[in-house]
Amino acid sequence: MKGAFKSLSAAMVKGFLRDKATLFFSFVFPLMFLVIFGLLFRDAGAEKIKIGAVGDGPVIAALEQTGAVEVQRFGSVDEGVAKVRDGDLPGLVEATGDKVLLRFAASDQAQAGTVRGLVAGVTQQLNVTASGQPPKYEFDAEQVEDASLKPIQFLTPGILSWGIAITAVFGASLTLVNWRRKQVLRRLRLAPVSPTTILTSRILVTIGVALTQALIFVGVALLPVFGLTLSGTWWLAIPVFLCGVLAFFTIGMLVGALCKTEEAATGAANIVVLPMSFLSGTFFPIDLAPPWLQAASKALPLRHMNDGITDFLVRGKGPEALLVPCGVLIAFTLVVGFVAAKVFTWEDN
């Protein structure tokens, strides 16, 4: 029985490796997205606003301390104003004695507003301090997001989950349809091999392929150009990954059980995975979507796989966060697997 398991797995791996299109869509295609988006958004959110400064004093020192802006000093007002006029700088702060003057370019409203608010805020803060009175209204700001959640941090788990999902669904469904159509299933029925052996060898191959994908995608994202940083609990993403692979494998089995031809299976697999990838935060954070869409996406296994992997790979959550994604994915696997087993047939008719 071990020989049967090994030889079936080997037959499937060879079939997979010898199909150039499958290799492309399993490895190159998702990697393309990772590289393109990773490079495109590499600096997004990382760049600081610059502001020009002439003179010296507590306001300019305080601005530098906020860390929110990069202060660029000029010897003369004219020199700085020229930069503002050219659009190189959104504003110029001139501090002479107790007087603070902000000159800004109105061409970029958003930046101008930010700069005005910032300079005004810092000046008022200093005024309060100078008055010696405790401030009447207390103001505090606290950042909720991990400061390091740069685009690559959510792109990697998103594209990883999506790449694994399409490969698992396509791999499982096309093997099933092809084997049924080419009578391999009937022939296997005449050999002393149990359906469990056939099924587990296919699952093992799917997991092996997914593991290879994960290593490649994470490996590439870790390169300095992209700069992914893994959290301390990244290894807790492994159970979520395995549950996700199983969930999408069973979806593939269901698609394969329902479709008679490879073309139909390809279409059906696309219909299942493509919308799911858009609704599950593969290419952009789902937090940007309207609330009802966010709620609806909670019904999708890809969303939970993506969330779960993000939680551990980059957010560093503890083991208690395993419960929801793994629970949902296992439930999916059981329900879909049950339906697939019900509709499965060894041959057409």
Partner 1 sequence: MTETGAGDAIVVGDIRKSYGDLHAVDGVSFAVGHGEFFGILGPNGAGKTTTLEIIEGLREPDSGSVRLLGHNPFPRDTALLPRIGVQLQASAFFDKLTAREQLETFAALYGVGAERARETLELVGLADKADTREDKLSGGQRQRLSIACALVHDPDIVFLDEPTAALDPQARRNLWDVLRAIRARGKTIVYTTHYLDEAEILCDRVAIMDQGRILAMDTPAALVRGLDAPTRIILERGSLPAEAAAALPGADEVTEDEQSLTISSRTPAPLLAALAERGTLDGLQVRTATLEDVFLQLTGREYRA
Give the residues lining the site for partner 1 (CB under 8 A): 3-4, 6-8, 10-11, 14-15, 18-19, 178-179, 182-184, 186-194
DSSP string, 126-156: HHHHHHTSPPSS-------S-TT--HHHHHH
φ, ψ (nearest 5 deg) of residue 282? -70, -50
CB of 16 to partner 1, least distance (A): 9
CB of 21 to partner 1, least distance (A): 12
Q: With respect to partner 1, which residue has the nearer C-beta, 14 or 73?
A: 14
CB of 1 to partner 1, least distance (A): 8
Pairwise CA distance, residues 301 & 324, whole Å = 11
CB of 70 to partner 1, least distance (A): 58
CB of 4 within 8 A of CB of 197? Answer: yes
Q: With respect to partner 1, which residue has the nearer C-beta, 43 or 347?
A: 347
CB of 276 to partner 1, least distance (A): 27
Q: With respect to partner 1, which residue has the nearer C-beta, 99 or 186?
A: 186
CB of 41 within 8 A of CB of 152? Answer: yes
Q: DSSP 3-state assignment of 216?
A: helix
Q: With respect to partner 1, which residue has the nearer C-beta, 193 or 264?
A: 193
Pairwise CA distance, residues 104 & 337, whole Å = 63
CB of 349 to partner 1, least distance (A): 9
Pairwise CA distance, residues 123 & 126, whole Å = 5
Among left, alpha and beta (phi > 0; psi -120 to 50; other), residue 75 is alpha
CB of 171 to partner 1, least distance (A): 12
Contacts of residue 126, defined as CB under 8 A and 6 or more positions apart, other chains included, come to: 58, 59, 62
Q: With respect to partner 1, which residue has the nearer C-beta, 23 or 331?
A: 23
CB of 203 to partner 1, least distance (A): 18
Q: With respect to partner 1, which residue has the nearer C-beta, 3 or 75?
A: 3
Please give the DSSP secondary-structure letter assigned to residue 28: I
Q: With respect to partner 1, which residue has the nearer C-beta, 97 or 192?
A: 192
Q: With respect to partner 1, which residue has the nearer C-beta, 64 or 262?
A: 262
| DSSP-derived pairing of the beta strands 49-55 and 69-74 | parallel
Q: Which residues of 292-330 are buried (b: 16+ CB within 10 A; e: fewer)?
A: eeeeebeebbbbbbbbbbbbbbbbebeeebbeebbebbe
